[in-house]
Amino acid sequence: MTERITKNTARNIYFGGSLFAILIFTGLTLDTVQRVPKTSHSENITEAVASGKNLWEVNNCVGCHTIMGEGAYYAPELGNVFDRRGLGNEVAFRGFMQAWMASQPLAIDGRRKMPQFNLSEKQVDDLSEFLIWTNRVDKNNWPPNIEG
């Protein structure tokens, strides 16, 4: 006794499965839309943070670095660089960034060379502000270790 799926049954499975998938997708989208404002701390986006983000994009930092796991894996993750190099101290981190950016490219054998972007002090401070803001976004424990 073999049972066959009729056209009506196949159509019902197709439309039922599609409706189910659409409902799940809609529910997950609504959940994400409700959570993002709580985790992103968008109220802390200042003019300096926005300018730093623009510098990040214009200089194609994502072409080598990752931030929150997005980007190229050529250079270190920078989503937590404020904790790693600034140890939670904004003044120390800005100083570190000024010195780091001014010293590029480093002449260390076997090390990939970061280009010299010739950024002004204000631009480096803005980039620092962007990285500080990024560090404070709830990233669900990403990266898995302090070194990224």
User: What value does the mean pLDDT take over residues 84-99?
Assistant: 94
Q: What are phi and psi of 4, to 5 degrees?
A: -115, 150
| Environment class of 5 (CB within 10 Å of its CB; exposed 0-12, middle 13-18, buried 19+) | exposed
Domain 41-148 in CATH 1.10.760.10:
yes
Please count the helices (runs of H) and the strands (runs of E) in the chain.
Answer: 5, 2
CB 145 within 8 A of CB 64: no
Short-list 94, 112, 92, 90, CA closest to 102: 94
What global pTM score does this model have?
Answer: 0.77
Which has the higher per-residue pLDDT, 90 or 138?
90
Residue 7 CB: number of other CB atoms within 10 A?
Answer: 7
CB 134 within 8 A of CB 62: no
On the question of pLDDT at 148 being above 70, the answer is no
On the question of pLDDT at 114 being above 70, the answer is yes
